[in-house]
Amino acid sequence: MEKIIDENTQGNTLTLEARPDNSRKLYIESYGCAMNFSDSEIVASILADQGYNTTNVLEEADLVLVNTCSIRDKAEQTVRKRLEKYNAVKRINPKMKVGVLGCMAERLKEKFLEEEKIVDLVVGPDAYKDIPNLLKEVEEGRDAVNVILSKEETYGDISPVRLGGNGITAYVSITRGCDNMCTFCVVPFTRGRERSRDPQSILNEINDLAEKGYKEITLLGQNVDSYLWYGGGLKKDFKNASEMQQATATDFAQLLNMAATAHPKMRIRFSTSNPQDMHEEVLHIVAKHDNICNHIHLPVQSGSTRILKEMNRQHTREEYMKLIDRIWEIIPDCSISQDMIIGFPTETEDDHQETLSLMEYVKYSFGYMYKYSERPGTMAARKFEDDIPEETKSRRLTEIVDLQQKHSALRTASFLGKTVTVLIEKESKKNKEEWSGRTEHNNVAVFPKSTYKAGDFVKVKITDCTTATLIGKAVGYSENN
C-alpha cells in the first residue's frame, strides 16, 4: 500500500448517527495519529450526552473541535491553517465556539488563547470528561482551559461512538501516554505518563464491536508491548502485595491471547510495538492465533547505534536485527514495517549509510519516513542544535524513501500467483466495480466485486500488483466468515 512520507495533513471530519433529541451541532476534525481519531470518538460520545449531534458541514456547527498533533512542526502548522478557516466561518456565525483538543492543546496550554484569539476552549488529552463543564464556562463568557494530565484516566468507562467509519474496522485503545522518553519525541510531554486500561473494559468493548458486526480491531497504544494491568483480585485473597501482583497482572501477550481466544473470527492487529519492550511471548501468541495478523509495525528510527543512543532508544542496531531474526523464526511470513527519522542532530553520512544498510537487511514491507523536526522542550532540543542542513535532510530522505519503495515493490510482488485472504473494507477509489480491502500483512488488495459485500473475508488470487497494491480475482469465501 502507498505509505505516507509525512504526517496526516488531511484531517478527518467525523460524523455519527444523529440522536433525535439532540439539537446542537458538533463539527469535530482530527489530525495526527490513530489515538487522536480514537479519542475524538470518545469526545463525540461525551458530547452526544450533552445534546450534540455531529455534522460534517462546518458552517452549520455550534461547536467546532479540532483534535491536534504536535509530533512535527508541520503538523502544528496544518492546524494553524485550519484555525484561520474556522475564523472566517466564525465571522459569519459569531455564536460558533471553537475548541482545541489533543497534543497542541497540551503543549501550548493558555498560550493558545493569546496566540489564536478565535479559540474559546483548550482541552488536553486527559481532560475530555471535563468538556461539559468547560462548555458551561464558555457559555458564561469565560475562556476555558483544562490541560491537567492524569496518571489514571483511560476513558475505559466511556463507550466510544464509532465515527465516520466503515462499520468493519475499529480502533480499541489499550494504553495511554508513554514513559519511554525518546529524546526527539513530544508525546511523553503531551500525553503524559503511561497507563494501561482494565482488560475487562477492553474485552467488553471488543464484545460490543463484535455484536455490532465489526470484523477487525486494532489494539492501540504508543507502546503496546508495555501494556500491564495490575488488579482484578481482592487483597484479602493474597498473602502479600507481590503475590497479588503475580496472580492478577495481565501483560500484552496475555491480553492479546484473551482477545484472540474470545473472538476467533475477529481479525486483530496491534500498534505500535517498540523494539525495546517487545517480548518473545507476544510473538508466540501471534503465531498461535490465525486471527492475529502477521504484521508488526516496529519503528526503529535509525540504523546507527550511536544515533539510537542519542535518541534514547534502548537497543543497538545489532539487538534490533536479532529481534527481526527472532520474529521470522517464530512467525516466518511476518510482514514488518518501520518508522524512520532522517537527519537527527549530528547524523553523519556514515550513520545514514547504516540506516540504509539496516533497511537492506530487513527489507521492510512499508514505512513512514520523516525529516527530524525539533520539538521545543524535548531532550534533543535542549542538548543539540538542529544541525543537519535542510538540503542534506531532503537528499537523505529521498534516498531512504526510494529504497523503501524498492523493498515495498519486492514484498508486494512476492504475493504474485498466491491466494490471500482479504477483508473487504470499501469500494475501490479508482474503480466502482471493484472492492478494496487489506490482507493480514497489511497490503491493500483490489478485485472485481462479483457477489461479495463489504465486511466479507474473501480469498483472492493475486494476478498483478503495483508497488503497494495487490490486484487479483476473488476465488471464494474464506473460512473466517
Binding residues vs ligand SAH (CB under 6 A): 71-72, 184-185, 187, 222-223, 272, 299, 301, 339, 341, 370, 372-373, 375
Does 103 sit near ligand F3S (CB under 6 A)?
Answer: no
Q: How far is the CB of 67 from ligand SAH (least distance, A)?
A: 15
Helix (H) or strand (E) holding 176: strand 175-176
434-438 and 469-477 beta bridge pairing:
unpaired
Distance from C-alpha of 238 to C-alpha of 125, rounded to nearest angstrom: 36
Set of cell numbers at residue 144: 476555558
Q: Which residue, 301 or 421, has its beta carbon nearer to ligand F3S?
A: 301
Dihedrals φ, ψ of 185, to 5°? -105, 135
Does 188 sit near ligand F3S (CB under 6 A)?
Answer: yes
3-state secondary structure of 76: helix
The answer to whether the CB of 91 falls within 8 A of the CB of 63 is: no
Q: How far is the CB of 398 from ligand SAH (least distance, A)?
A: 16
Q: How far is the CB of 413 from ligand F3S (least distance, A)?
A: 31
The answer to whether the CB of 410 falls within 8 A of the CB of 356 is: no
CA-CA-CA-CA torsion sign (19, 22, 28, 33): negative
Q: Which residue, 135 or 308, has its beta carbon nearer to ligand F3S?
A: 308
Q: How far is the CB of 258 from ligand SAH (least distance, A)?
A: 22
HSE of 73 in the Cβ direction (CA atoms, 13 Å)?
Answer: 7
Q: Which does 302 bind (CB under 5 to 8 A by kind): ligand F3S, ligand SAH, none?
A: none
Does 307 sit near ligand F3S (CB under 6 A)?
Answer: no
Residue with cell 542519542: 310
Does 302 sit near ligand F3S (CB under 6 A)?
Answer: no
Does 173 sit near ligand F3S (CB under 6 A)?
Answer: no
Contacts to ligand F3S from residues 263-282, by CB under 6 A: 274
The answer to whether the CB of 436 falls within 8 A of the CB of 427 is: yes
Q: Which does 72 bind (CB under 5 to 8 A by kind): ligand F3S, ligand SAH, none?
A: ligand SAH
Burial class (CB in 10 A: 0-12, 13-18, 19+), 92: exposed
Q: Which residue, 87 or 346, has its beta carbon nearer to ligand SAH?
A: 346
3-state secondary structure of 440: coil
Contacts to ligand F3S from residues 202-231, by CB under 6 A: 222-223
Q: Which does 170 bind (CB under 5 to 8 A by kind): ligand SAH, ligand F3S, none?
A: none
Q: Which residue, 311 or 444, has its beta carbon nearer to ligand F3S?
A: 311
Count of residues that bind ligand F3S according to CB under 6 A: 10
Set of cell numbers at residue 48: 452526544
Residue with cell 466561518: 89
Distance from C-alpha of 443 to C-alpha of 333, rounded to nearest angstrom: 13
Distance from C-alpha of 10 to C-alpha of 82, rounded to nearest angstrom: 11
Of 76-84, 128-136, 181-189, 329-337, which segment contacts ligand F3S by CB under 6 A? 181-189
Q: How far is the CB of 280 from ligand F3S (least distance, A)?
A: 19
Q: Which residue, 53 or 276, has its beta carbon nearer to ligand F3S?
A: 276
Q: How far is the CB of 313 from ligand F3S (least distance, A)?
A: 8
Q: How far is the CB of 156 from ligand SAH (least distance, A)?
A: 19
Rg (CA), the chain: 23
Q: How far is the CB of 108 from ligand F3S (least distance, A)?
A: 19
Set of cell numbers at residue 302: 535509525
The answer to whether the CB of 480 falls within 8 A of the CB of 265 is: yes
Distance from C-alpha of 80 to C-alpha of 152, rounded to nearest angstrom: 31
Does 70 sit near ligand F3S (CB under 6 A)?
Answer: no
Q: How far is the CB of 218 from ligand SAH (least distance, A)?
A: 11
Burial class (CB in 10 A: 0-12, 13-18, 19+), 117: exposed
Q: Which does 71 bind (CB under 5 to 8 A by kind): ligand F3S, ligand SAH, none?
A: ligand SAH
Q: How far is the CB of 82 from ligand SAH (least distance, A)?
A: 20
The answer to whether the CB of 26 falls within 8 A of the CB of 61 is: yes
Of 39-47, 174-182, 238-246, 409-417, which segment contacts ligand F3S by CB under 6 A? 174-182
Q: Which residue, 146 or 272, has its beta carbon nearer to ligand SAH?
A: 272
Of 44, 182, 308, 380, the residue at the interface with ligand F3S (CB under 6 A) is: 182
Distance from C-alpha of 108 to C-alpha of 98, rounded to nearest angstrom: 16
Closest to 324 (Cα-Cα) out of 334, 339, 314: 334
Q: Which residue, 375 or 441, has its beta carbon nearer to ligand F3S?
A: 375
Distance from C-alpha of 424 to C-alpha of 298, rounded to nearest angstrom: 25
Q: Which does 188 bind (CB under 5 to 8 A by kind): ligand SAH, ligand F3S, none?
A: ligand F3S
Q: Which does 259 bind (CB under 5 to 8 A by kind): ligand SAH, ligand F3S, none?
A: none
Q: How far is the CB of 322 from ligand F3S (least distance, A)?
A: 20
Q: Which residue, 126 or 456, has its beta carbon nearer to ligand F3S?
A: 126
Distance from C-alpha of 216 to C-alpha of 165, rounded to nearest angstrom: 12
Return residues touching ligand F3S (CB under 6 A).
178, 180-182, 185, 187-188, 222-223, 274
